[in-house]
Amino acid sequence: MRTILNIIQKEFIQIFRNKTILPIIFIAPIIQMVILVFAATFEMKEIKFSVVDMDMSPISRRLSSAYNASPFYAYKGHEFNMQKAEDKLRSEEIDMILSIPAHFEENLIREDAGSVQFLINAVNSSKASLINAYSSAILMDVNKKIRMEILGLNPGDFKTININTSFWYNPELNYKIYMLPGILVILVTLIGMFLAALNLVREKELGTAEQINVTPIGKFQFILGKLFPFWIIALFELAFGLIIGKIFFHLPTLGNIGLLFAFAGLYLIVVLGIGLFLSTLSSNQQQVMFMAFFFMLTFILMSGIFTPVESMPNWAQKVNIVNPFAYFMKVIRMILLKGSGFKDIQHEIISMSVYAIGIISLASWRYKKVS
């Protein structure tokens, strides 16, 4: 035990002397929390649009004014030539064209039918879907009001079904609340897996690993002493991130924080094991950086940070069983936003426990120490 404590003490001294690691530990969390949470969003707040109004009637002007009055839209001018408007769309000066054909008002009044066209830049399919949903909602609202006026109806005469929607867990639909836990997972993993792997390979490059290998220090003592400091630092980063989230973004903490840290500790054993395994396959820091970057990028994109895992293809969901990011991404949102308890995440706890035993055993077996 004394040997392990000495190695841990040595590692902390070495970490705090390293001018490269310190900024990653203390500055990266602030940048990730404050900047990335705002940057990683699917909210639409400025949809740039132009109007091609070939009717120029009171109703067509009223329709275009409805979009201009919306806080989600930014009016970028009127065009009388569809070709010019399409050129703007192709050059990405605008996101949408609202096309109103000639005789629109006449057809709406006489034939009880009128048509408009949305031309939307769909290079980004998610953005295009949101623009279409917003635009259709405004069109339906204007259409309802115009029809009531044409028929001479008062709002009380028009019978409708009122739907009262209640949003659970995130009632204000604040996208930052959804993204912040995901950013925290990336932050904790960056410290746990990436830096631990780099630290172990750095020992090889400096030649100190060979010096330790010929000492009476056991393999498991060395591994535990090397990994434990990063386990502690990663948990500190999680606490630090939660504090920043609470102060700056009013992140709710509906569940048990102790349960969250317990699962995070188990998760960190897994990612530290992955980092150790990658370090045993690498002979220098450049190699381990490439491998760690590959695994982290793949795990992050498949973790459900932006889109639900359930929307992925079946084969991707099956492959995701080896993705530790996906487990922690789900659990941290369940505990913080839903207030889930032990029974709700027991499947993830069992899976992480099996994963931890497997990856640590594999990494320890792969690590070579010559006595």
> What domains lie within the chain, and their CATH numbers?
2-40+172-366 (no CATH), 47-151 (3.40.1710.10)
Average pLDDT for residues 33-54, to the nearest whole number? 79
Would the pLDDT of 252 be above 80?
yes
pLDDT tier at 371 (50, 70, 90 boundaries)? very low
pLDDT confidence of residue 213: 63
The contacts of residue 237 (CB under 8 Å, 6+ apart) are: 25, 29, 187, 188, 191
pLDDT confidence of residue 8: 78
pLDDT confidence of residue 212: 64
Residue type, 35: I
Would the pLDDT of 82 be above 70?
yes
Give 133's DSSP letter: H
- How many separate helices (H) and strands (E) can be counted in the chain? 17, 4
pLDDT confidence of residue 349: 95
More confident residue, 362 or 18: 362
Average pLDDT for residues 301-310, to the nearest whole number? 82
The contacts of residue 212 (CB under 8 Å, 6+ apart) are: 203, 222
Would the pLDDT of 198 be above 50?
yes
Give 27's DSSP letter: T
Nearest CA to 177 out of 238, 253, 126, 236 is that of: 253
Give the pTM.
0.78
How does pLDDT run across 104-147, given as a tens digit for each residue?
888 877 777 778 899 999 888 778 888 998 899 898 888 888 77
Report the percentage of the chain scoring pLDDT > 90: 22
In a 10 Å sphere around its CB, with 0-12 CB exposed, 13-18 middle and 19+ buried, how is residue 127 labelled? middle
Would the pLDDT of 369 be above 60?
no
pLDDT tier at 214 (50, 70, 90 boundaries)? low
What kind and span of H or E run contains 53? strand 47-53
Contact 229, 19 (CB under 8 A): no
Nearest CA to 238 out of 33, 23, 8, 15 is that of: 33
Average pLDDT, the chain: 83
The contacts of residue 156 (CB under 8 Å, 6+ apart) are: none
Dist CA 125 CA 115 (whole Å): 24
Give 127's DSSP letter: H
> What are φ and ψ of residue 119, in 5° steps?
-110, 115
Would the pLDDT of 174 be above 60?
yes
Would the pLDDT of 355 be above 90?
yes
- When mean pLDDT is compared across 203-207, 318-322, 331-335, the lowest value belongs to 203-207
pLDDT confidence of residue 259: 95
Other C-beta atoms lying within 10 Å of the C-beta of residue 368: 8
Print burial letters for 151-170: b (CB count within 10 Å at least 16), e (below 16).
eeeeeeeeeeeeeeeeeeee
pLDDT tier at 353 (50, 70, 90 boundaries)? very high
- For residue 228, the number of C-alpha atoms closer than 13 Å in the C-beta half-sphere is 15
- For residue 300, the number of C-alpha atoms closer than 13 Å in the C-beta half-sphere is 17
Print burial letters for 263-275: b (CB count within 10 Å at least 16), e (below 16).
bbbbbbbbbbbbb
Distances (CA, A) of 49 to 27, 80, 82, 86, 353: 39, 14, 13, 11, 52
pLDDT confidence of residue 43: 67
Cα 99 → chain centroid: 35
Report the percentage of the chain scoring pLDDT > 70: 91
> What are φ and ψ of residue 43, in 5° steps?
-70, 140
